[in-house]
Amino acid sequence: MRVLARDIVKAAGEQNGAEVEVKGWVHRIRDMGGVSFVILRDRSGIVQLVLAEKPDLSLESVIVARGIPALNDKAPGGAEIQVNSLECISRADGELPYQVNADIGKIGIEAILDNRSLSLRNPKIQAIFKVQATIIEAFSAYLRSQDFTEIRTSKLVGSGTEGGTNLFEVEYFDRKVYLAQSPQLYKQIMVASGLERVFEIASAYRAEKHDTPRHLNEYVSLDVEMGFIESEKDLIELEKNLLAHIFTETARKNARELAMWGASVPDAEAVFKAPTLGYEDALKTANAELAAGGKKQASARIFDITPEAERLLCEWAGREHGIELVFVNEFPRRYRPFYTYPLDATRTMSFDALFRGLEITSGSRRQHDYQSFLETLPKFGLKPEYMAGYLTVFKYGCPPHGGFAIGCERLTQKILGLANVKEASLFPRDRKRVEP
Ligand code: AMO
In short, whether 429's Cβ falls inside 6 Å of ligand 1 is no
- pLDDT at site 373: 85
What is d(CA 367, CA 402) in angstroms, rounded to the nearest whole number?
Answer: 9
Runs of H (alpha helix) within 231-387: 232-253, 255-260, 268-272, 279-293, 307-321, 370-376
347 DSSP 8-state letter = B
What is d(CA 353, CA 348) in angstroms, rounded to the nearest whole number?
Answer: 15
Question: Residue 301 Cα, ligand 1 centroid: separation in angstroms?
Answer: 26
In short, whether 182's Cβ falls inside 6 Å of ligand 1 is yes
Angle among Cα 234, 238, 239 to the nearest 5 degrees reads 115
Question: Residue 64 Cα, ligand 1 centroid: separation in angstroms?
Answer: 45
Atom number of ligand 1 nearest to Cα 181: 30
- pLDDT at site 423: 98
Question: Residue 60 Cα, ligand 1 centroid: separation in angstroms?
Answer: 38
In short, whether 69's Cβ falls inside 6 Å of ligand 1 is no
In short, whether 184's Cβ falls inside 6 Å of ligand 1 is yes
- pLDDT at site 388: 81
SS percent in the chain: helix, strand, coil, step 5: 40, 25, 35
Q: From residue 325, give the alpha-carbon distance in Å to each of 214, 237, 264, 286, 300.
A: 17, 13, 14, 14, 24
Atom number of ligand 1 nearest to Cα 215: 14
**Residue numbers of the chain with a pLDDT score lower than 50:** none
Question: Residue 184 Cα, ligand 1 centroid: separation in angstroms?
Answer: 10
3-state DSSP assignment of residue 212: coil
- pLDDT at site 418: 97
Residues 6+ apart with CB under 8 A from 408: 132, 135, 136, 201, 219, 220, 221, 222, 424
For residues 379 and 414, the answer to whether their CB atoms sit within 8 Å is no
Atom number of ligand 1 nearest to Cα 411: 31
Question: Residue 221 Cα, ligand 1 centroid: separation in angstroms?
Answer: 7
- pLDDT at site 303: 92
Residues 6+ apart with CB under 8 A from 209: 431
In short, whether 405's Cβ falls inside 6 Å of ligand 1 is yes
Pocket test for ligand 1, best of 219, 236, 352, 415 (most atoms within 8 A of CB): 219
364-403 pLDDT, tens digit each = 999 999 998 888 888 888 888 777 878 888 999 999 999 9
- pLDDT at site 386: 75
Residues 6+ apart with CB under 8 A from 197: 143, 146, 147, 148, 149, 191, 225, 226, 227
What is d(CA 321, CA 326) in angstroms, rounded to the nearest whole number?
Answer: 9
Q: What's the CATH fold of domain 5-90? A: OB fold (Dihydrolipoamide Acetyltransferase, E2P) (2.40.50)
Atom number of ligand 1 nearest to Cα 187: 28
**Residue 357 backbone phi and psi in degrees, to 5:** 90, 10
Residue 170, class by beta-carbon neighbours within 10 Å (0-12 exposed, 13-18 middle, 19+ buried)? middle
In the chain, where the domains are located: 5-90, 117-424
408-416 vs 232-253: helix crossing angle, rounded to 10? 50
- pLDDT at site 294: 65
Atom number of ligand 1 nearest to Cα 352: 22
- 239, 233, 238: which is closest to 343 by C-alpha? 233
What is d(CA 287, CA 284) in angstroms, rounded to the nearest whole number?
Answer: 5
In short, whether 359's Cβ falls inside 6 Å of ligand 1 is yes
For residues 192 and 170, the answer to whether their CB atoms sit within 8 Å is no
- CA 149, 154, 157, 163 torsion-angle sign: positive
Question: Residue 205 Cα, ligand 1 centroid: separation in angstroms?
Answer: 10
What is d(CA 190, CA 193) in angstroms, rounded to the nearest whole number?
Answer: 5
3-state DSSP assignment of residue 340: strand
Question: Residue 362 Cα, ligand 1 centroid: separation in angstroms?
Answer: 6
Catalytic residue numbers, as ranges: 206, 208, 214-215, 359, 362, 410
Please tell us whether the domain made up of 117-424 is placed in CATH 3.30.930.10.
yes
- pLDDT at site 224: 98
- pLDDT at site 379: 85
98-111 pLDDT, tens digit each = 999 999 989 999 99
Among protein residues, the one whose CA lies closest to atom 22 of ligand 1: 361
In short, whether 413's Cβ falls inside 6 Å of ligand 1 is no
Question: Residue 339 Cα, ligand 1 centroid: separation in angstroms?
Answer: 15
Among protein residues, the one whose CA lies closest to atom 20 of ligand 1: 407
Among protein residues, the one whose CA lies closest to atom 3 of ligand 1: 362
207 DSSP 8-state letter = -
In short, whether 414's Cβ falls inside 6 Å of ligand 1 is no
| Bridge partners, residue 203, by sequence | 220
What is d(CA 86, CA 284) in angstroms, rounded to the nearest whole number?
Answer: 66
For residues 325 and 271, the answer to whether their CB atoms sit within 8 Å is yes
In short, whether 238's Cβ falls inside 6 Å of ligand 1 is no
Atom number of ligand 1 nearest to Cα 184: 23
- pLDDT at site 33: 87
Helix (H) or strand (E) holding 394: helix 388-395
In short, whether 363's Cβ falls inside 6 Å of ligand 1 is yes
In short, whether 340's Cβ falls inside 6 Å of ligand 1 is no
56-79 pLDDT, tens digit each = 999 999 999 999 999 999 999 999
In short, whether 430's Cβ falls inside 6 Å of ligand 1 is no
- The DSSP secondary structure of 257-273, one letter per residue, reads HHHHTT-----HHHHHT
